[in-house]
Amino acid sequence: MADNKLLANAIRMLAAEGVEKAKSGHPGAPMGMAELGVALWREEMRHNPINPTWFNRDRFVLSNGHASMFQYALLHLTGYNLSIEELKNFRQLHAKTPGHPEYGYAPGIETTTGPLGQGIANAVGMALAEKLLAEEFNRDGYDIVDHHTYAIVGDGCLMEGISHEVCSLAGTLGLGKLIVFYDDNNISIDGEVHDWYSENVAKRFDAYNWHVVEAIDGHDVDAIRNAIHQAKSIHNRPSLIICKTTIGKGSPNKAGKEESHGAPLGASEIELVKKELGWTYASFEIPPEVYAGFDCKSKGMNAENSWNQLFTEYQSRHPQLAAEFVRRMEHKLPDDWSSIVKVAVKAANDKQETIASRKASQNAIEFYAEHLPEFFGGSADLTGSNLTRWSKATTLTEANRYSGNYISYGVREFGMAAIMNGIFLHGGYRVFGGTFLMFSEYARNALRMASLMKIAPIFVFTHDSIGLGEDGPTHQPVEQIATLRMIPNMIVWRPCDTVETMVAWADAIGRNKSPSSLIFSRQNLKFIERSQAQIDNIARGGYILVDGGKNPDYAIIATGSEVELALNVATKLTSDGLKVRVISMPSTSVFDLQDESYRDEVLGGAKKMIAIEAGVSDSWYKYVGKDGVIIGIDTFGESAPAAKLFDHFGFSVDKIIARLK
């Protein structure tokens, strides 16, 4: 059996040689964290390389994702289906080993990391999901949900503001099964960090209500193992284990220096590393005793088989709970979901309510929550404004930490969005959370990561335009809708009334591989009467509200609060003897996915195209063409009552008619 030194050196050499072959990457952190990999992946972490998605596995998140060769090396060495050829293809096109770990590429990658700080935020979400599911499904003697979440962070993760947001919340929530390792090597790309990062991390996390294991030798496997055992014994607080390490350990000339952080060591230095470590093997050669020492397949299968036996007994004693658990972990909707949606949409249409779409959104949540016990909602301190809470929701409180389905995230928009990603990745919940549309700016990178990972949290954004009024331009979103639509794979809805809102929510709930941004108004929006065919076409993202006949003089496209305005403009133009088509397009994202014939049917044939939306105008040219007219806002807003603002910025029937003439 190989000793720990040889096992750690195998990680170092795979990292150094993988980066060298790619001529790109970060060898230093993997070389410095090698002993941590041995202690955690080989000994303490419960995982099954043969079945990487086994539910009750421990989750591992490499928040400092630039150190990706650390994770790839461990996946390969412990027995996952990640060949040595994939490690040789590090950072190459279509390899399973991209520059930063990406969810859905290599087996065993729980989340995409790279933007520093988001990995630890995802880990907080995973740990919260574990606690919530355990409270909901575990029964005496049958702890079917019982696993830890491990994460590694570096200085960069802790400098990013999101780490403050999520670690503060994790301490408040007392997430005892969250164990984080701080790779404390004092080096970033610019050099030794003490000139710009001198805070006492231990005291910071102690203030967050974390259990802190202060500076241990990060190159001592026994010390790391003991620290993990200590952390596991603390059940009411998350743990931070501070590991003092040397970046690039094993490199005679670059260890402890920024030169080893973000660039290959160089061929000559690689040879010196081999001599320093006593590594006598060829490039990418791993001796059999190392594979034998790292092999976790038998241990992993035994752990999974034990859990399977426990779950079989659980199914026998609690069949309904077991069936519900399986359904939710497989991200399956109830069998009668399509019927549920039809009833919901019909009810909204029958009520004919003129209300704010944020209130229509709350009505949708209220209805669908009755049929979706996996709903988990929240808001970044704006519950009363976002209207994301429903009547039967149970909010997590200090006295009721885990038996609930709604959370107040506090003023933490970025942290909320990244935690939501982690909850979805863990499984068991359809998660949504709200804030003002303006503050999507704070959450932007987490929204992008959800889209990139092809996961489906639901982001609720209210107060969608200058219609919020007196709060002024700091709170009036003019560019946010357009920029959300620009994110690949992000589904954006801006419904115009209660019926479109109900359809938008159903669409978002029904997705598993695309996140959704649902955008709602503060002000009341008039109910619009439709035929059944028009109602059915809402789900296609865009549809004709007023036909206008063949080859109309004008075709007007509008979204959200501007649909009523478009209808009023059409009425005026029609009274002047013109033919006008009105198109409601609540989701350009979904409309663009429709077949060409349908899109042509909706958009084609008009002599002049017009788009009306209270936001920046550029994105509408793809629909109206260079000769079209766009009624938009290409400046920031003003502070005034909403009605005066709409008139001031040209959103009135008379001003639009004058513009057309």
As annotated, the active-site residues are 413
Tell me whether residue 187 is annotated as binding.
Answer: yes
Which two three-digit tokens encode residue 6?
């040889």
Tell me whether residue 26 is annotated as binding.
Answer: yes
Calpha distance 477→173 (Å, rounded): 32
Tell me whether residue 115 is annotated as binding.
Answer: yes
Distances (CA, A) of 170 to 355, 444, 657: 37, 21, 55
Tell me whether residue 66 is annotated as binding.
Answer: yes
Decide if 433 contacts 388 (C-beta within 8 A).
yes
Q: Give the list of residues 6+ apart from residue 203 with CB closer than 8 angstroms, or none.
A: none
Tell me whether residue 545 is annotated as binding.
Answer: no
Tell me whether residue 465 is annotated as binding.
Answer: no
Tell me whether residue 471 is annotated as binding.
Answer: yes
Calpha distance 462→564 (Å, rounded): 19
Calpha distance 188→238 (Å, rounded): 26
Tell me whether residue 475 is annotated as binding.
Answer: yes
Tell me whether residue 256 is annotated as binding.
Answer: no
Tell me whether residue 463 is annotated as binding.
Answer: yes
| Three-state secondary-structure class, residue 466 | helix
Beta-ladder partners of 431: 376
Tell me whether residue 185 is annotated as binding.
Answer: yes
Distances (CA, A) of 38 to 98, 179, 281: 23, 16, 20
Tell me whether residue 156 is annotated as binding.
Answer: yes
Tell me whether residue 155 is annotated as binding.
Answer: yes
Tell me whether residue 439 is annotated as binding.
Answer: yes
| Three-state secondary-structure class, residue 436 | strand
Q: Give the list of residues 6+ apart from residue 645 with CB closer than 8 angstroms, or none.
A: 466, 467, 469, 637, 638
Decide if 315 contacts 142 (C-beta within 8 A).
no
Cβ count near 268 (within 10 Å): 9
Decide if 425 contacts 122 (C-beta within 8 A).
yes
Calpha distance 401→381 (Å, rounded): 17
Tell me whether residue 516 is annotated as binding.
Answer: no
Which two three-digit tokens encode residue 363?
């009505």
CA 276, 278, 284 angle in degrees (round to 5)? 100
| Known binding-site positions for thiamine diphosphate | 66, 114-116, 156, 185, 261, 439
Which residues does the annotation place in the binding site for Mg(2+)? 155, 185, 187
Binding site feature residues: 26, 66, 114-116, 155-156, 185, 187, 261, 358, 385, 439, 463, 471, 475, 522
Q: Give binding residues for substrate as ranges.
A: 26, 261, 358, 385, 463, 471, 475, 522
